[in-house]
Structure 1
Amino acid sequence: MKFVAFERAKQGTGASRRLRITGRTPGIVYGGTAEPTLIELDHNALWHALKKEAFHASVLQMEHAGKTTEVLLRDVQYHPFKQLVLHIDFQRIDANTKMKKKVPLHYSGEENSPAVKVDQCLINHIATELEISCMPKDLPEFIAVDLSNLTKGHSLHAKDITLPAGVTVVAPGSSNPVLVAVVATKAEAPTPQEAAAAAGDNKKKK
Structure 2
Amino acid sequence: MVDFTLNAKERTDLGKGASRRLRRNAEMVPAIIYGGEKAPQNVSLEARELKKALENEAFFSHVIKLNVEGKKQDVLLKALQRHPAKGHVMHADLLRVVAGHEVTLQVPLHFVNEDKCVGVKKEGGIISHTMTEIEVSCLPKDLPEFLEVDMADVALGQTVHLSDVKLPKGVSSVALSHGADHDLPVANVHAARVAVDIEETDAPAAEGDEDSAE
TM class, shorter-length? 0.7 to 0.9
Shift of residue 123, structure 1, vs aligned partner = 0.6
2:172 maps to which of 161, 168, 174: 168
Q: What is the match of residue 125 of structure 2?
A: 121
Shift of residue 69, structure 1, vs aligned partner = 0.9
Matched, 1:73 2:80: no
SS of residue matched to 1:5: strand
Shift of residue 142, structure 1, vs aligned partner = 0.4
Q: Deviations over 1:167-200 (max 9, x none)?
A: 111116843111011111147xxxxxxxxxxxxx
Shift of residue 77, structure 1, vs aligned partner = 1.0
SS of residue matched to 2:134: strand
Shift of residue 133, structure 1, vs aligned partner = 0.9
8 A contact 1:25–1:87 mirrored in 2: yes
Shift of residue 82, structure 1, vs aligned partner = 2.1
* Aligned positions of 1:49-198 closer than 5 A: 49-171=53-175, 174-186=181-193
Shift of residue 136, structure 1, vs aligned partner = 0.6
8 A contact 1:32–1:94 mirrored in 2: yes
Change in 2 beyond 3 A, CA 1:19/1:186: closer
What's the C-alpha RMSD, in Å, of the aligned pairs? Answer: 1.5
Give the TM-score normalised by the residue count of structure 1. 0.86
Write the letter of the residue equivalent to 1:157. H
8 A contact 2:7–2:69 mirrored in 1: no
Change in 2 beyond 3 A, CA 1:108/1:33: same
SS of residue matched to 1:26: strand
**Unaligned stretches of 5+ in structure 2?**
195-214
SS of residue matched to 2:18: helix
Once the two structures are aligned, what percentage of the paired residues are identical? 40
**Unaligned stretches of 5+ in structure 1?**
188-206
Q: Deviations over 1:9-28 (max 9, x none)?
A: 21011111111112111111
- In 1: Cα distance, 2:58 partner to 2:156 partner: 34
Aligned residues: 187
Q: What is the match of residue 35 of structure 2?
A: 31
8 A contact 1:98–1:136 mirrored in 2: yes
